[in-house]
Homo-oligomer: A and B are copies of this chain.
């Protein structure tokens, strides 16, 4: 089917399209892929040749229907494997991303379907991100950033924006995990820091933290 590299580009474009609806720029893609702009141009041409993306020179790139479908299948596999690692193999949520980056490229529709079934058709991965079903459908939750809450408002923690080990371990250390309720006690206008309460404990967090935690309000 498609190479690992092609799949990784498609996935990156898929994620960046949320932010750049008008088309994903070569530089944005180069940064996401941790490669050089010239390499991106080369690959975009190949993807365009294969009708996985729509590309006009200097105008950025968009996924075609086929490209989008392919990207979603890769994301589906990534998130199913992350769920598997956490729920079945006792991995912590900060340890699974790199392994899922490898597993997401395993080619077998039956494997993906059977894994999904084995896991009980989970709807969200360990970081709160939606897992597309076999048809590629998934629901985008109406979540918001904790930073958007005002004093005395509260919400349930439902996901992370940054899913780096560093951030996830910080959350672990402070006993913040998905499903818990967070209430804003104070909000400092000057630096955006907050005093929150989570499970009866008070905690002061910087804006960098509240900007990377998704919550859902009732």
A91 CB contacts on chain B under 8 angstroms = 110, 114
Contact assessment for A114 and B89 in the assembled complex, using a CB-CB cutoff below 8 Å:
yes
Candidate in A102, A107, A117 with the most chain B CB atoms within 10 angstroms? A102
Q: Report the copy number of this chain in the oligomer.
A: 2
Cα of A31 to Cα of B115 in the assembled complex, Å: 34
A111 CB contacts on chain B under 8 angstroms = 85, 89, 99
Contact assessment for A102 and B110 in the assembled complex, using a CB-CB cutoff below 8 Å:
no
Q: Which 7 A-B pairs have the closest CB atoms?
A: A89-B114, A102-B106, A99-B108, A89-B118, A99-B111, A88-B118, A103-B106
Is residue A17 contacting chain B, with contact meaning CB distance below 8 A? no
Cα of A135 to Cα of B91 in the assembled complex, Å: 22
Interfacial residues, chain A to chain B (CB-CB below 8 A): 85, 88-91, 95, 98-99, 102-103, 106-108, 110-111, 114-115, 117-118
Q: How far is the CB of A106 from chain B (nearest CB, A)?
A: 5
Q: How far is the CB of A95 from chain B (nearest CB, A)?
A: 7
A103 CB contacts on chain B under 8 angstroms = 103, 106
Cα of A115 to Cα of B89 in the assembled complex, Å: 7
Cα of A19 to Cα of B89 in the assembled complex, Å: 37
A99 CB contacts on chain B under 8 angstroms = 106, 108, 111
Candidate in A111, A117, A118 with the most chain B CB atoms within 10 angstroms? A111
Contact assessment for B90 and A114 in the assembled complex, using a CB-CB cutoff below 8 Å:
yes
Contact assessment for B114 and A107 in the assembled complex, using a CB-CB cutoff below 8 Å:
no
A118 CB contacts on chain B under 8 angstroms = 88-89
